[in-house]
Amino acid sequence: MAPPAPEEAVSTRLLRAKVRARGGRIGRRRREAPVPVPRVADKLMVITEHGERDQIAVLEGRELVQHFVTRSGARSMVGNVYLGKVQNVLPGMEAAFVDIGRGRNAVLYAGEVNYAPEDLEGGQPRIERALRPGQSVLVQVTKDPMGGKGARLTAQISMPGRYLVLVPGSDVWGLSRRLPDAERRRLKAIARKIKPEGHGLIVRTAAEGASEEAIAADLERLLRTWSEIEGRAKRAKAPALLYEEPELTVRVVRDLFTDEEFRELVTDSPRVYENVTEYLREVAPDLAEKVRLHQGRLPVFEEFHITEQIHKALDRKVWLPSGGYIVIERTEAMTVIDVNTGKHTGGKNLEETVTQTNIEAAREIARQLRLRDIGGIIIIDFIDMLLEQNKRKVVEALKEALALDKTRSQVFDISPLGLLEVTRKRVSGGLLESFSETCPTCEGRGILVKYEIS
Write the CATH number for 92: 2.40.50.140
Residue 71 has pLDDT above 70, yes or no: no
User: Do 41 and 261 meet the contact criterion of CB atoms below 8 Å apart?
Assistant: yes
283's enclosing H/E stretch is helix 270-283
Residues 150 and 231 in one domain: no
Q: Looking at the predicted structure, is the pLDDT value of residue 337 above 90?
A: yes
Do 383 and 346 sit in the same domain of this protein? yes
Per-residue model confidence (pLDDT) at position 85: 96
Q: List the domain range (segments joined by +) for residue 90.
A: 80-154
Instruction: At 143, give phi and psi (nearest 5°).
Output: -150, 135
pLDDT higher than 70, residue 2: no
Q: Tally the domains of the chain.
A: 4
CA 231 to chain centre: 29
Phi, psi of 200 (to 5 degrees): -85, 165
Contact between 421 and 56 under an 8 Å Cβ cutoff? The reply is no
Same domain membership, residue 353 and residue 413: yes
Residues 322 and 418 in one domain: yes
Say if 22 falls within a structural domain. Answer: no
Residue 346 lies in a domain: yes
Any domain includes 150: yes
Residues 190 and 223 both lie in one domain: yes
Q: Does residue 32 sit within a domain?
A: no
**Do 288 and 325 fall within a single domain?**
no
Most confident among 36-50, 87-101, 436-450 (mean pLDDT): 87-101
The pTM score is: 0.80
pLDDT at 35: 63
The average pLDDT across 189-195 equals 93
- Indicate the pLDDT class of residue 278, thresholds 50, 70 and 90: very high
128 contacts: CB under 8 Å, gap ≥ 6:
89, 91
Q: Is residue 273 part of a domain?
A: yes
Query: Of 135, 154, 173, which residue is a domain's last?
Result: 154
In a domain, 3, yes or no: no
User: Does 239 share its domain with 251?
Assistant: no
Domain-terminating residue out of 243, 265, 280: 243
* 283 and 385 together in one domain: no
Query: Whole-angstrom Cα distance, residue 130 to residue 125?
Result: 9
For residue 141, tell me if it sits in a domain.
Answer: yes
- With respect to residue 12, please indicate whether it lies within any of the assigned structural domains: no
What single DSSP character describes residue 180? Answer: -
Cα–Cα distance, 431 to 372 (Å, whole number):
5
Give the model confidence (pLDDT) of 100-115 as tens digits. 998 889 999 998 998 8
